Each structure stands twice: as C-alpha cells, then as structure tokens.
Amino acid sequence: MEKFVVEGKQRLTGRVKISGAKNAALPILAGALLTGGTVRLTEVPELTDIYTMLEVLKALGAKYTFSEGEVVLHTPEITSAEAPYEQVRKMRASFLVMGPLLARTGRARISLPGGCAIGARPIDLHLKGFEALGAKIEMGHGYIEATAPKLKGNTVYLDFPSVGATENIMMAAVLAEGQTIIENAAEEPEIVDLANFLNNMGAKIKGAGTKVIRITGVKDLDGVNHTVIPDRIEAGTFMIGAVATHGEVIVENVITDHLTPLIAKLIEAGAEVIEDEDQNALLVRSKGKLKPLDIKTLPYPGFPTDLQAQMMALLATVPGISVVTETVFENRFMHVTELNRMGAKIRIEGRSAFIEGVESLTGARVKATDLRAGAALVIAGLVADGVTEVGHIFHIDRGYERFEEKLRGLGAKIYRVGD
C-alpha cells in the first residue's frame, strides 16, 4: 500500500490551481443518466471517486471517454437498472444514480452504500423523497429497490438539509409529472451547479441554493456542455495549509463566495486573505502568532464539515484553547487519535474537541482514516518537526487531484512511496 512521506517544518509558498469540484462532478455525472443525448463535462477532476462513478454508469449502459478533465458521455439506453455491491461499496455517492434511474426507467436497484466511515450516514431522507414522489421501496439482501411506473410531483420536507438527498430527489423530480417542492433543502454550491446543469438540459428547477427548491417536471432532457465549479474544499485545504505553515499561497480558480465561512475564520485567527477578483484568486498568508478559534460545522453557508479535520491540524499548534464542534456527522473525529500521536493535545467531549495548542508537533507514522482526515495529517506533517509517514492514502486519492504534486509546487517535500 502506498504512503506519503512528508518532511516537516516546510512553509508553503507560491501558486496553486484548484481543480473542478468532486462533490459537484459526482451528482452531475449521475444526472447525465437522465438523457439519451450527449453530455460533455469539463473541469472534471481525475480522482478515484470519479472513476468509480464512471464504472457505475458504464454498468448501467453509459458509454464515455475521459481524458484531460473532459468527460464525454452518452447513455442511449439504460441496459441495467442495478448498481452492484462491488461498485457501490467503494463509494457512498454511487447511490446518487437512484434518482436518475427511477426517473428514466421507473426502476432502480442499488446496493446499500459504503464510503467513508464517518457516522451512520443513513439514506432515509433519500427514500422518503422517492416515496413522496410515488415510488415503492423494498429492501432485502443488502439491496434497495425502488419502483414507480410514473413519478408524480409532491412536497418533500427534509428533516435535515442533506446534500445527497436534495440532489437525488431533485434528479428524480425533473422528469416527474407536475411540481415537486423540496423544503429545508441543502443550499450547498454543488447543488446549484447540479441545478444549472439540469436546467441547461431543459429541466425546470427554481430556488437551488435556497431552502426551498421548486421543480416542474418536463417530458425529456437534452444533451449539454457543462463546466464543473471549482472545488471549495480543495481550495480550503490549501488555504489552511498556507496558514498552518506560516506560508504565503495564491489559490487560483476559486469562487470566493463559496469560501466565506473559512475566510472569516482564518482572518479571525490572524491570517491575511486578500481577494484578486479579476483572477478568481485568493492570496492567503500568515506571519505573526495565530489566535485560537471556536468553530462549529454546519450545513452551507456554515463552516463545512469537510474542512473540520484540516482546521484541527492548523489549531493544534495555535497557542491557547480552540474548540471545534462537529454537528453534521456523528463520528468525525477519528483523526484526533492520529494528531495526538504527533504530539497534539486534543480532548474530545461529545461532539466537541478541545484543542490545547502545543509548541510543535513531532513527525510520526500515522494513518488516514478518511479523505479529509488524510489531508489534515499531511498538513500536520508539513508543520511537524521531523518526518511524518501518512498511510492509507487511497483515501486522499479519492478526493484530491495530484495532491502531492501540487504541494511540491508550493515547496513542500512530500513523496509517494510504495510499501
């Protein structure tokens, strides 16, 4: 198994170009099943999660090419309405094909999802939405089967603004009869990107990016060209890396508005963030002593749970006590044990982590427990004294395109080595 070897006490300096957003590209790829026309996507990041989604789509009848960030895909016909365990277990987001399959063929049979081990991550809200649109749901043998000869629009209230459920229900509703209203919908920018993609195919979606999304069903959808939005979590990871290492980095290809909660917290900690609107870029730097922070993860536009682990790596060496409260997932502190092995002083109490800033972290052998935890350990490795070895980096490869190359471009000494 491959690992990263990271030399510590490195300042990140220079420019880095952010890739297209994984979490926008995944639902958009699933949404491409809604048409028999050709879908051309650019700025698709080359990540294992994207390859997994493409494999799932292929098994359902899609034909595609993928090179240099461009996917050209068409699905003249759905040849199977079943997404098998082998693929779905690799990635929870495979479940996003359920809405499009139901909409296009009236049937979907999907293995129960796998993915990062962060909390129970049920799918009850997705299913509640499909049922409201008239689907019959059956479960057995590790599979969920939904059938609906014709979906009918309805009002769906989400008990929690789930990103995946909002996307899946939205995709099911675009070809349903009549109007669907999703209340307490997730407002993430990736949902807006998906809605723009679907609307350009001929869908009628209003209100994406707010708490209420209204979808008027249409008969069919056409092919489309679409460019995926920049990855705010990748951008945020490099910004946190810049501040943690007291460096100076220009992150290019960003939408500043998507990063508002992070920028606010970095400035509160004492870093500088300067926007270059003409270049879609942000300059991030930190010189002096940083101040501790209180952070609570929340659905967008709150502080993203996907940047919680990286922030903790930063706060581990900030003098004083920081408090990080995770409200989106139940079990997303697995990186804490690994950070503590590197000399951090972090104590967990319920949903909060209390971080007592230490003078310095020390290089150690650690293990990525999920995607963002992996990125956090790399940041900790850059800050630490000595050498850090980060194992299980297949998690990192799921969501960061050419991570070590980009970091090396910023002066980091990080190498991928086989065991």
Catalytic site positions: 116
The amino acid sitting at 70 is: E
Burial class (CB in 10 A: 0-12, 13-18, 19+), 350: exposed
* 337 contact partners, CB below 8 Å, separation of at least 6: none
Choose, by CB under 6 A, the member of 153, 164, 217, 261 that binds ligand UD1. Answer: 164
Which is nearer to ligand UD1, 88 or 271 (by Cβ)?
88
Please state the closest distance from residue 22 (CB atom) to ligand UD1, in A.
Answer: 7
Question: Under a CB-based contact definition with an 8 Å cutoff, are residues 343 and 358 in contact?
Answer: yes
Gap between the Cα atoms of 375 and 390, Å rounded: 10
Please state the closest distance from residue 81 (CB atom) to ligand UD1, in A.
Answer: 21
Q: Taking the alpha carbons of 300, 276, 40, 236 in that order, is the dihedral positive or negative?
A: negative
Which one of 32-40, 55-63, 160-168, 275-283 is the stretch in contact with ligand UD1 (CB under 6 A)? 160-168
Please state the closest distance from residue 308 (CB atom) to ligand UD1, in A.
Answer: 9
Q: Between residue 124 and residue 153, which ones bind ligand UD1 under the rule CB under 6 A?
A: 124-126
Residue given tokens 């789930």 in the structure block: 162
Which one of 121-129, 175-183, 198-206, 411-419 is the stretch in contact with ligand UD1 (CB under 6 A)? 121-129
Measured in whole angstroms, the distance separating CA 4 from the mean position of its chain's CA atoms is: 22
Please state the closest distance from residue 414 (CB atom) to ligand UD1, in A.
Answer: 23
Q: Between residue 183 and residue 212, which ones bind ligand UD1 under the rule CB under 6 A?
A: 186, 190
Site string for ligand UD1, 75-114 (x = CB under 6 A): -----------------xx---------------------
Q: Between residue 303 and residue 322, which ones bind ligand UD1 under the rule CB under 6 A?
A: 305-306
Q: Between residue 321 and residue 350, which ones bind ligand UD1 under the rule CB under 6 A?
A: 328-329
Token pair of 356 as six digits: 């007592």
Choose, by CB under 6 A, the member of 1, 67, 68, 120 that binds ligand UD1. Answer: 120
- Residue set of the binding site: 22-23, 92, 121-125, 306, 328
Sites of contact with ligand UD1 (CB under 6 A): 23, 26, 92-93, 119-126, 160, 162-165, 186, 190, 305-306, 328-329
